[in-house]
């Protein structure tokens, strides 16, 4: 515990608090500017179970504020580069990365695996998705946003407290991202550290959490303001936006490394000629357009893992197979691109 002795000395932390940090499970949505400021402090504090979801690639214009990355990581996927750098900071950390964007099809499943969600995005639609998935799964989430020299931080859905919709009920509002409005890296870093601080306070159960409070800070003139807001009982989850259906019920997403370690047949339901071409042992290709015609060529007692390009066709294929009494059928989440990344990196990213 030598690494953490300075924070263990704090009476609000101690050995018991350090154990809480060790056992906590935190999902960070976004590995951009805010994510790059949040993640190093979570890892350094001793939080050993961290998930990162982001489907983006590093660009040179990211480097002035996304400090986990360097010139030699440009054009690499953010989650891989972030994982590598964070593991250098703390070799005991267990980082699970998801090389995809948060969506209505993966949010609930992911959130159920974590105690706490951190919003490190700059997309308004994603924030409402994070909120609604957090409410459904009963997870608190730490919010942060940046506009030029100004930033905001709050905590939503904490101990049945106010949600994002209680404060921002109009999801049709316009939000400008860093690419369009410009931003200083220091502003992003400052807000990200405030978010990390809220995460640690929530895990430890100390201090005054920013639940029902919106902290606003202007780094240009050093002014700070904090407004209070209450939970609104009239606010409901926008199920139309969230698209909550049971069409995917019973479909299990599996990691490609799990599949390869078992006697499973991989079925590529893309059309012939689609790239990238996947060449793995025990892989067959049956296009969606021919699937029902070729069902007789498949043995129902075998284990199958289905994939396509993005996931839509594979889910439909699984539904068809289940209708024809195929029982051992799973979905390879992320499709062909995820498999290709695994082959290149020889590691599981789901």
Render pLDDT for 301-333 as a digit per residue (tens, 0 to 9). 899 999 998 777 898 899 889 888 888 899 998
Would you tell me the crossing angle of helices 185-204 and 33-45 to the nearest 10 degrees?
A: 40
Catalytically annotated residues: 178, 308
Strands 213-218 and 150-156: antiparallel
What 8-state DSSP symbol labels residue 271?
A: P
Beta bridge partners of 51: 27, 96
What's the pLDDT band for 240 if we cut at 50, 70, 90?
A: very low
Q: Which two tokens stand for residue 231?
A: 């939970």
CA-CA distance, 210 to 213, in Å (whole number)? 5
Decide: 317 and 269 in contact? Cβ < 8 Å. Answer: yes
Please report the pLDDT score of residue 286 as a whole number. 95
pLDDT digits (tens, 9 = 90+) for 254-302: 888 778 767 899 999 998 888 898 988 889 999 988 898 899 899 998 9
Segment 105-164, tens digit of pLDDT: 788 889 999 999 999 998 888 999 999 999 989 999 999 999 889 999 999 999 989 999
* Residue (of 53, 49, 87) closest to 68 by Cα position: 87
CA distance 84 to 142: 24
Reported as a single tens digit per residue, the pLDDT across 67-77 is 899 999 899 99
The residue length of the chain stands at 350
Q: What 3-state DSSP class applies to 97? A: strand
What was the pLDDT predicted at 272?
87
Compute the distance between CA of residue 211 and CA of residue 142 in angstroms, rounded to an integer.
Answer: 9
């Amino acid at each position: 515990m030598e690494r953490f002795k300075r924070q263990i000395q704090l009476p609000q932390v101690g050995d018991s608090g350090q154990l809480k940090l060790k056992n906590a499970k935190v999902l960070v949505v976004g590995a951009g500017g805010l994510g790059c400021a949040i993640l190093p402090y979570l890892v350094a504090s001793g939080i050993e179970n961290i998930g990162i979801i982001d489907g983006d690639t590093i660009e040179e214009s990211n480097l002035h504020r996304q400090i986990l990355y360097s010139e030699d990581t440009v054009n690499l996927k953010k989650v891989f580069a972030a994982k590598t750098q964070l593991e250098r900071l703390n070799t005991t950390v267990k980082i699970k990365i998801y090389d995809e964007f948060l969506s209505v099809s993966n949010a609930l499943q992911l959130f159920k695996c974590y105690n706490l969600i951190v919003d490190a995005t700059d997309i308004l639609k994603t924030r409402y998705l994070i909120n609604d998935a957090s409410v459904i799964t009963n997870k608190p989430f730490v919010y942060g946003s940046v506009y030029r020299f100004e930033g905001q931080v709050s905590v939503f859905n904490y101990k049945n407290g106010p949600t994002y919709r209680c404060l921002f009920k109009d999801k049709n509002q316009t939000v400008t991202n860093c690419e369009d409005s410009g931003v200083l890296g220091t502003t992003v870093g400052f807000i990200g550290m405030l978010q990390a601080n809220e995460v640690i306070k929530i895990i430890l159960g100390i201090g005054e959490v920013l639940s029902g409070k919106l902290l606003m800070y202007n780094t240009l003139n050093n002014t700070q303001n904090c407004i209070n807001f209450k939970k609104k009982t009239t606010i409901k989850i926008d199920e139309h936006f969230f698209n909550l259906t049971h069409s995917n019920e019973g479909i299990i997403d599996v990691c490609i490394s799990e599949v390869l370690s078992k006697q499973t047949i991989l079925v590529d339901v893309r059309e012939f000629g689609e790239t990238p071409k996947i060449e793995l042992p025990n892989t067959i290709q049956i296009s969606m357009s021919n699937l029902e015609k070729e069902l007789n060529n498949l043995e129902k007692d075998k284990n199958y893992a289905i994939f396509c390009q993005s996931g839509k066709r594979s889910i439909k294929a699984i539904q068809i197979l289940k209708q024809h009494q195929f029982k051992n059928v799973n979905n390879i989440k992320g499709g062909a691109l995820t498999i290709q990344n695994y082959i290149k990196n020889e590691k599981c990213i789901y």
